[in-house]
Amino acid sequence: MLTINFSPFPNLETERLLLRRVDATDIKEILALRSNPETMKYIPRPLLQSDEEALEHIAMIDTKIRANEGINWAITLKNNPKLIGIIGHYRIKPENYRAELGYMLLPEYHGKGIVSEAVEKAVNYGFQVMKLHSIEAIIDPENNASAKVLEKNGFVKEAHLKEYEFFEGRFLDTVIYSILNKD
């Protein structure tokens, strides 16, 4: 069985980005991300309403990191510590050497290749450090931008699940992408 340890917390760097730990100073940005109907359009979760809820979200992220159950990074530009997005490995299944990758970015940073750069780094971390065998990403079938990012990073469409999730009174389709560790 896979052993996962996020201590000490691994900051990751790419050409343009620093992926660092989310902390309480990120409250306004977390609220901006998770209260925005545009950024949450394809994420079937309730919108955050307040600073308190944003702090609870940050605390939940921290709890998962401490328990080695999941890891989230704040996506920041190297020259600016402000959180512009978030990326992480969720629902890690150590017995299957598999995790789910998720990410979101403030709308003003869309279309600049930032998510793709962060995905590449997070996937490398998942395979090389966490020793995962496969990584999945679960997206809304209408989220074409996310599908493009995943395909660009070597993910393949694995399944289209019909009316798989029930959210706010309706059933939603889900698409699963995945990538296998070829090493």
Q: What is the pTM of this model?
A: 0.95
Residue 157 pLDDT exceeds 80: yes
pLDDT of residue 1: 81
When pLDDT is averaged across residues 12-19 and rounded to a whole number, the result is 98
Backbone angles phi, psi at 130, to 5 degrees: -75, -20
The count of other CB atoms within 10 Å of the CB of residue 164 is 14
Pairing of strands 98-105, 134-139: parallel
Q: What is the DSSP letter of 15?
A: S
pLDDT of residue 84: 98
pLDDT of residue 35: 97
pLDDT of residue 182: 87
* Domains assigned to the chain: 12-137 (3.40.630.30)
pLDDT of residue 38: 87
Distance between CA 74 and CA 81 in Å, rounded? Answer: 9
**How does DSSP assign 108-135, residue by residue?**
GGTTSSHHHHHHHHHHHHHHHTS--SEE
Per residue in 108-151, pLDDT tens? 999 999 999 999 999 999 999 999 999 999 999 999 999 999 99
When pLDDT is averaged across residues 89-95 and rounded to a whole number, the result is 95
Please report the sign of the dihedral spanned by the C-alpha atoms of residue 58, residue 63, residue 69, residue 73: positive
Buried b (16+ CB within 10 A) or exposed e, 73-84: bbbbeeeeeebb
Q: What is the helix (H) or strand (E) element at residue 65, kind and residue range? A: helix 51-66
Residue 183 pLDDT exceeds 80: no
When pLDDT is averaged across residues 37-50 and rounded to a whole number, the result is 93
Residue 165 pLDDT exceeds 80: yes
